[in-house]
Copies of this chain bind each other. A is one copy, B any other.
């Protein structure tokens, strides 16, 4: 696992930040160059992997007044994108004196020389109130663009650093762009702020927007619970995000505390059979007369193969495999199977409401921390990295590592243990 971070060159510029290099003087400190956090706090082995800590350096590679920075937002909406954009701009402007900040419209296509929408100048006035809104004021889009042409635009416009706020597709794009800068020895810092509402990046404890997503999702579960309780044989079924990892569905379950069964991609489940979903549901209804079920979008994909709910097995513009709609599939399946019981099923899919919501205060804080760290990293000349979080400390993680594999729920771990304690669901459904 690659954990060391590359720099564009030697950092010789004294930082304009009025921080201290002395501990204990009641003045906030620069981050020392070699500060790291270890992978496993339950082990004390000096040989274990560790991550470089993020934070302002006493010596930088760039001088703010000479810098041109670009910001791009890529992929689906996620709460907090505008917060990150805003804090990038404010930190660059107020703390480092950067005066040329450019926003790319509609994702990477806004960094193409022939983009129909020009780069947009950003300053504190432009971004002042954008954190009050969901979405991204820059616009976003999916799909890769040729990195050689993007690099051409960056060089033509004299751009020194690119901040990429994006998910799978965005981070892969940032990685390709970074590799192209290395290939062409272009002194441009490429720094990512990972945006995955599913919170499924490896070696990153938390991604922005996740707290907001869980918050809104738990409200949708509450509605499903009210519907279920208000009818005989009432069933509330909520579909939530989570293509490969069920973190949102599981965490929203823990927040709402009114879910009886949560289905996540990590957990195989049968529909028929004595340990299957239907058998569980009939028992639950016999005992309690209502049930609340949450399903993550990536769960139970095996049930969709070749079926009606299955899209053509292509990939979307970001290269993601298109999933079948397990929510609609289960809705129809349960209604059909429950007809004799006069099952009253209400189906809720809050996905696009969640994605477009402004950030919760907790996410707003986190977005601010991420953006500041991203600026500090770029000013120090670091490149090819994303800002991560490990053991509550902000870190620098190589783009190569962040895009290699995924984080999923460990069914052996304490998080899932809390989930099944909370729902009371059986440990296995096959």
Contacts and interface: CB of A to CB of B under 8 A. Distances in A.
Contact of A215 (B48, B131, B362): B362
Given A41-B37, A131-B257, A133-B129, A355 B227 contact: yes
Given A28-B412, A87-B257, A350-B353, A94 B424 contact: yes
A407 interface: no
A252 B77 CA distance: 23
A44 B45 contact: yes
Given A133-B226, A352-B223, A362 B44 contact: no
Contacts of A236: 352
Interface residues of A, number: 101
A257 B87 CA distance: 9
A255 B91 CA distance: 15
A252 B364 CA distance: 10
Nearest to A363: B255
Interface stretch (A15-23, A166-174, A182-190): A15-23
Nearest to A211: B362
Contact of A257 (B25, B29, B218, B364): B364
Contact of A42 (B37, B223, B369): B37
A28 B227 contact: no
Nearest to A411: B26
Contacts of A95: 421
A129 B349 CA distance: 24
B421 A255 contact: no
B352 A347 contact: yes
A83 B254 CA distance: 12
Interface stretch (A136-144, A146-154, A379-387): A136-144
Interface string A1-36: 000000000000000011110011111110100011
A56 interface: yes
A398 interface: no
A223 B41 contact: no
A412 B83 CA distance: 26
A312 interface: no
Given A27-B411, A360-B215, A368 B106 contact: no
A126 interface: no
A222 interface: yes
A361 B135 contact: no
A311 B372 CA distance: 42
Interface string A60-100: 00000000000000000100000100110001001100000
Contact of A24 (B205, B223, B412, B422): B412
A280 interface: no
Interface in A87-130: 87, 91, 94-95, 106, 129
B38 A218 contact: no
17 contacts: A19-B417, A29-B414, A38-B41, A42-B53, A42-B393, A83-B257, A95-B421, A129-B129, A139-B230, A140-B230, A211-B361, A215-B361, A220-B353, A254-B369, A255-B365, A256-B364, A368-B418
Given A28-B413, A350-B353, 11 more contacts: A26-B412, A27-B427, A41-B41, A44-B45, A91-B421, A132-B132, A140-B230, A211-B361, A223-B352, A226-B356, A255-B365
Interface of A: 17-20, 23-29, 31, 35-38, 41-42, 44-46, 48, 53, 55-56, 77, 83, 86-87, 91, 94-95, 106, 129, 131-136, 139-141, 205, 211, 214-215, 218-220, 222-224, 226-227, 229-232, 236, 251-252, 254-257, 346-350, 352-353, 355-357, 360-362, 364-365, 368-369, 372, 391-394, 411-414, 416-418, 420-422, 424, 427-428
Nearest 3 Cβ contacts at the A-B interface: A255-B361, A28-B417, A223-B356
